[in-house]
């Protein structure tokens, strides 16, 4: 494969580049030969420590040439730097020898060719443990510079050609053949855009490769996504191997569609589904399109309003039988059926991950298919910290073990393009999934005009995790741990200096390490990043607020960072002063920092593959800046200028501290968190199954009903408030006296939004209508009579 060689530089590690001797002269000649004759680029590095830093920050080397003969870095400036960094480093300080550097390099870059450059050392002086990690040796003076450069080029070109995984490689190769296209898409490699100024602007912004790679199903070289043939099928089969599945399917319009593909392949209508009430709305739509008869598992919540796990007992056969017996919509003739599908969200939005092995044991005799919605959790297989806590975990299956389906948003926390997701399937102990039958459901939701760059991004995400998954995950887990510890240390420092409050983290305050209890922020980061034990929830160390948590059932994912704000304690007690999280996240948005979600007194950030130290430093600086502004009660014109510009009569001249106090007082006096807790503990009475309610929508047998008139009515659509982002009521459920806490919570949300304009939260299923004194909620309900 032709490659743009200059974009894959050769890293040469040697202290001799500027030496006025024969070695320095030949090294400079080698660099010149590589650049001028072979069109390669060269990055020089003058010490093993510097080279190690370079290799941590980039992965685009075509070859690494390491001078074995750099004098050991002792008694030098580099050695002093090594000692200074030793405590902070993850690997006992920067490397001082070639052997240390090569070992470190190989742990991080498994495939890149590494060549040892030596002249004074005998081969017998290089240990076998180092030789087995390299691809060859170059003797500085024994061969000509032309020969040495040719060897480097050979290794470089061979490696770069193999960097491309199967589908992406074929796509690049096709795009570089510069064919005249007489097929769709109509822009034909981008040429069509050049006929108009707007099109030309788009072409210039994205660059030609984007358009040359935007191809049609008419290109046979790239196979077919719908019948999983050619290099497309090769890529999916490779992903199945890497992610531990029997089958993997690429889905190009998100896990919302992946969930529906899975359900439509299994349920045929009027069959029972056991569903996590803390589920994404796409699963509710899956119940609509399949005509499923749902019974629900209700998750716990703590006093902060954070969504917890479903109780393990809810997976038991007795519990399932009781739910079916009490259901008002399951007909008598269906009550003896086994549950056709069970769906569980893993991990939860705040990063709680289930011990999947325990759940499988509970459910295997009661359900025919298991579905884990792992939209936010595609990385779990690639680090031992998560062992046993993801759907494709590889334990031996009992004969009655059902097939397992996992839907993963590869784009969310791995590196695929937006909407690019995967479905992973593992056959049961005896029941095997028929891929031809499954594909009928897949094709119902797939396009005959797929976006090929999205397929390539899934292919590349797979190769990245196969090659470097554990190393990359180890980095981001360690970085998340260090950020968690730093937040707590800053809080301690501010408290000890008399400067008061700071933000907290939802995490253990103490962990058991080395046989004794230590404060979280004082624990060894390497231990926290590699051991599962500190993250497993238990009753004795009850920092989490779930009093009846089962042993070894749930762990907290360290890369899901839930920051807590002052105003409420772990028992739900609300202080005289508080800082609602919505104010903080609004300020952060103004500083260019976007959070994943915000609750009343907490907000969530994700430490993913794209997180850098600069992002973390910027975040901490912004939080400290917010604290200063709050403590000085600076005017909102300075803190939240856009809010004041939008509602000047409401917020002009108001100080930040006064603003937070007013909002906190409202939340406390109206017991908003307590009302929310009651609302989500209710499972409303079912008047009909979700599919029936939707049929009323299609027929127009619905009408908008204001919230004030909604008691006693049946909403036709689900209502999903953010926060917390889970359904409070499903289509076809009754808003009667049993469900009054739901109505009370929605009423408080409506009143809050009118009291604090600019803080409107998204509520799926609710429309807002302007009226006297503000905006008012309304939703589609079934017509009466």
DSSP 332: G
Strands 293-297 and 272-276, how do they pair?
A: parallel
Of 323, 383, 411, 412, the active-site residue reads 412
How far apart, in whole angstroms, are the C-alpha atoms of residue 527 and residue 60?
30
Query: Quick one: three-class SS letters along 90-139?
Result: CCCCCCCCHHHHHHHHHHHCCCCCEEEEECCCCHHHCCHHHHCCCCEEEE
DSSP 719: B
CB-based contact 574:314 (threshold 8 Å): no
CB-based contact 352:555 (threshold 8 Å): yes
Residue written as token pair 């004795």: 540
The two three-digit tokens of residue 104, written as one number: 């470190």
Query: Quick one: three-class SS letters along 408-474?
Result: ECHHHHCCCCCCCEEEEEECCCCCCCCHHHHHHHHHHHCCCCCCHHHHHHHHHHHHHHHHHHHHHHH
Annotation marks residue 665 as catalytic: no
Of 52, 214, 373, 599, the active-site residue reads 373
Distance of CA 224 to the CA centre of its chain: 28
Helices vs. strands in the chain: H and E counts, helices first: 27, 27
Sign of CA dihedral 703, 704, 710, 716: positive
Distance of CA 321 to the CA centre of its chain: 35
Annotation marks residue 373 as catalytic: yes
Helix axes 254-266, 281-290, angle to 10 degrees: 30
Annotation marks residue 227 as catalytic: no
Using alpha carbons, list the distances in angstroms from residue 681 to 311, 345, 389, 674, 689: 13, 17, 26, 11, 20
How far apart, in whole angstroms, are the C-alpha atoms of residue 13 and residue 34?
15
Using alpha carbons, list the distances in angstroms from residue 88 to 52, 81, 360, 461: 15, 12, 41, 30
Q: Which residues pair with 342 in a beta bridge?
A: 274, 370
Of 155, 228, 280, 424, the active-site residue reads 280
Q: Which residues are identified as catalytic?
A: 280, 373, 412
């Amino acid at each position: 494969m032709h490659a743009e060689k200059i974009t894959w530089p050769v890293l040469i590690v040697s202290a001799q580049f500027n030496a006025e001797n024969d070695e320095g002269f030949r090294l400079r000649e080698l660099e010149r030969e590589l650049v001028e004759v072979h069109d390669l680029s060269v990055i020089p590095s003058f010490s093993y420590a510097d080279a190690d830093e370079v290799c941590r920050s980039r992965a685009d080397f075509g070859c690494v040439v390491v001078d074995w003969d750099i004098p050991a870095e002792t008694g030098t400036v580099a050695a002093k730097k090594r000692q200074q960094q030793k405590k902070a480093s993850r690997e006992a300080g920067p490397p001082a020898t070639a052997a240390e550097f090569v070992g470190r390099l190989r742990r991080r870059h498994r495939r890149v060719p590494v060549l040892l450059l030596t002249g004074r050392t005998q081969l017998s002086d290089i240990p076998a443990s180092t030789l087995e990690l390299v691809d060859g040796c170059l003797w500085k003076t024994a061969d000509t510079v032309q020969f040495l450069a040719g060897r480097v080029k050979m290794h470089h070109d061979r490696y770069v050609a193999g960097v491309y995984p199967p589908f992406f490689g074929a796509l690049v190769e096709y795009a570089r053949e510069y064919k005249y296209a007489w097929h769709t898409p109509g822009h034909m490699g981008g040429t069509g855009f050049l006929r108009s100024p707007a099109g030309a602007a788009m072409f210039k912004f994205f660059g030609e490769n984007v358009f040359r790679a935007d191809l049609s199903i008419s290109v046979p070289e790239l196979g077919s996504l719908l019948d999983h043939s050619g290099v497309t099928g090769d890529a999916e089969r490779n992903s199945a191997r890497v992610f531990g599945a029997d089958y993997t399917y690429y889905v190009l319009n998100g896990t919302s569609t992946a969930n529906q593909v899975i359900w439509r392949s299994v349920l045929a209508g009027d069959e029972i589904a056991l569903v996590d009430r803390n589920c994404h709305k796409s699963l509710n739509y899956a119940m609509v399109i399949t005509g499923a008869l749902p019974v629900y598992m209700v998750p716990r919540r703590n006093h902060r309003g954070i969504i917890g796990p479903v109780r393990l007992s809810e997976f038991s056969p007795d519990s399932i039988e009781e739910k079916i017996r009490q259901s008002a919509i399951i007909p008598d003739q269906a009550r003896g059926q086994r549950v056709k599908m069970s769906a569980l969200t893993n991990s939860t939005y705040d990063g709680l991950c289930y011990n999947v092995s325990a759940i499988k044991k509970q459910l295997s005799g009661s359900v025919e298919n298991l579905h884990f919605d792992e939209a936010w959790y595609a990385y779990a297989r690639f680090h031992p910290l998560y062992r046993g806590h993801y759907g494709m975990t590889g334990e031996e299956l009992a004969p009655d073990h059902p097939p397992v389906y996992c839907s993963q948003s590869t784009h969310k926390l791995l590196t695929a393009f937006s909407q690019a997701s995967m479905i992973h399937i593992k056959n049961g102990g005896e029941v095997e999934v028929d891929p031809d039958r499954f594909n009928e459901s897949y094709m119902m939701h797939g396009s005959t005009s797929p976006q090929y760059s999205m397929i390539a991004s899934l292919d590349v995400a797979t190769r990245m995790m196969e090659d470097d998954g554990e190393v990359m995950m180890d980095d981001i887990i360690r970085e998340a741990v260090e950020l968690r510890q730093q937040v707590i240390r800053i809080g301690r420092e501010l408290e000890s200096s008399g400067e008061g409050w700071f933000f907290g983290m939802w995490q253990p305050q103490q962990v058991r390490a080395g046989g004794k209890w230590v404060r979280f922020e004082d624990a060894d980061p390497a231990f926290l990043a590699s051991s599962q034990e500190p993250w497993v929830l238990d009753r004795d160390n009850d920092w989490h607020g779930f009093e009846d948590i089962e042993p070894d059932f749930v762990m907290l994912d360290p890369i899901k960072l839930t920051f807590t704000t002052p105003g409420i304690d772990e028992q739900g007690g609300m202080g005289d002063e508080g800082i609602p999280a919505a104010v903080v996240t609004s300020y952060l948005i103004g500083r260019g920092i976007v959070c994943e979600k915000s609750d009343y007194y907490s907000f969530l950030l994700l430490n993913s593959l794209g997180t850098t130290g600069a992002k973390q430093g910027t975040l901490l600086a912004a939080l400290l800046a917010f604290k200063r502004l709050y403590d000085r009660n600076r005017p909102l014109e300075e803190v939240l200028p856009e809010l004041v510009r939008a509602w000047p009569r409401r917020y002009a001249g108001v100080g930040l501290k006064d603003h937070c106090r007013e909002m906190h007082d409202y939340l406390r006096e109206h017991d908003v968190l307590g009302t929310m807790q009651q609302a989500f503990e209710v499972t409303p009475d079912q008047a009909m199954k979700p599919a029936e309610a939707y049929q009323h929508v299609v027929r127009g047998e619905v009408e908008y009903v204001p919230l004030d008139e909604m008691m006693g009515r049946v909403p036709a659509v689900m209502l999903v408030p953010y926060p917390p982002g889970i359904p409070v009521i499903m289509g076809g459920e009754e808003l009667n006296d049993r469900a009054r806490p739901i109505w009370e919570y929605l009423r408080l949300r409506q009143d809050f939004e009118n009291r604090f304009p600019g803080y409107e939260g998204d509520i799926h299923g609710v429309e807002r209508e302007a009226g006297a004194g503000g905006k008012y909620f309304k939703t589609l309900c079934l017509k009466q009579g």
